[in-house]
Amino acid sequence: MKGILIVGSLNMDFVVRVEHLPQRGQTVPGAEFKTLPGGKGANQACAVGRLSRDQTVRMVGCVGADASGEQLRASLRAANVDVAFVRTVTAAATGVALITVEQSGQNQIVVAAGANECLQPAEVIAAIDAAAASHLLLQLESPLETVAAAARHARACGRQVILDPAPARPLDAALLADVDILTPNESEALALLGLTGSDISLDEAPNIARALLAPGPRRVILKLGEKGVWLADETCSRHFAAPRVDAVDVTAAGDCFNGALAAALAEGQTLTEAIHFATTAATLAVTKPGAQDSIPTRPEVEAMLQARSAQSVEVENA
């Protein structure tokens, strides 16, 4: 098998930049406003398409019969993504996301699912069978029964299942048992464990990651933002640092990580190599505004990896 299948959402993002994020009941002045292609599924597909060397990349999802749907398809095609499995529905408009980004790069996002709610288990199962891809990427902006059916069928067919549990919500152990790699960020990890909060320290990360293994995923990659990621499985518990950069916009950084991770694994990189590759790609993504517009190219990621390697050699020889 060769290729990567992404099942998930396609949204049009309405993005406004502000000096600081508003508090409840507060109105703040906005600055630059843009309409950009997004959706967690489409973002991950775009990342795989841009960063893969020779993989076939296919997107499965739904859009409305409107201009936004056509724009989202065009954006994916431009990133070398096959959109034959993206269905147009007339019952709903294309999904949208309202995104507010402050000067620090942090954001607030509200999603109206629209056509994404029309994605059915049967069509996803059919796509998995037809694509015969080695890796399946999932998120939680599609109906949960569809996500669960996709994970279950892919796992039964011997595919590698990577789940980004976003937006945050509790999940059944049955779904998590069909996951090979679970990739929550800090708030998502805490939500999965029934905890509140949005920040996990490096001291807390090993215990949180191990706790997330209990329901059944084979590996957990805990995304910690500028603190890097923490990998945990039955035999390993390890931190991977992220390069230091000035963040402009963190929108889609996690999606970029997942897409890059799948691209690297599908071409035969080791898990360690794939995590370094994905961490570097996500770091580059936060230095640019937007979702799909921020995703780097393969040469950009490889250049930063080479620079990091050279710096490590210099430190060792100092």
Annotated catalytic sites, by residue? 255
Alpha carbons 88 and 23: distance in angstroms, whole number: 37
Judge contact between 5 and 34, C-beta under 8 A: no
Judge contact between 229 and 283, C-beta under 8 A: no
Residue whose structure tokens are 């000096």: 19
Question: What are the two backbone dihedrals, phi and then psi, of residue 145, each rounded to the nearest 5 degrees?
Answer: -65, -30
Burial tier of 87 (Cβ tally within 10 Å: 0-12, 13-18, 19+): middle
Q: How far is CA 218 from the centre of its chain?
A: 18
Query: Residue 111 gets which letter from DSSP?
Result: E
Question: What are the two backbone dihedrals, phi and then psi, of residue 5, each rounded to the nearest 5 degrees?
Answer: -115, 130
Both tokens of 100, joined, read 């507010």
Judge contact between 123 and 87, C-beta under 8 A: yes
3-state DSSP assignment of residue 217: coil
Q: Hey, which residues does 110 pair with through a beta bridge?
A: 98
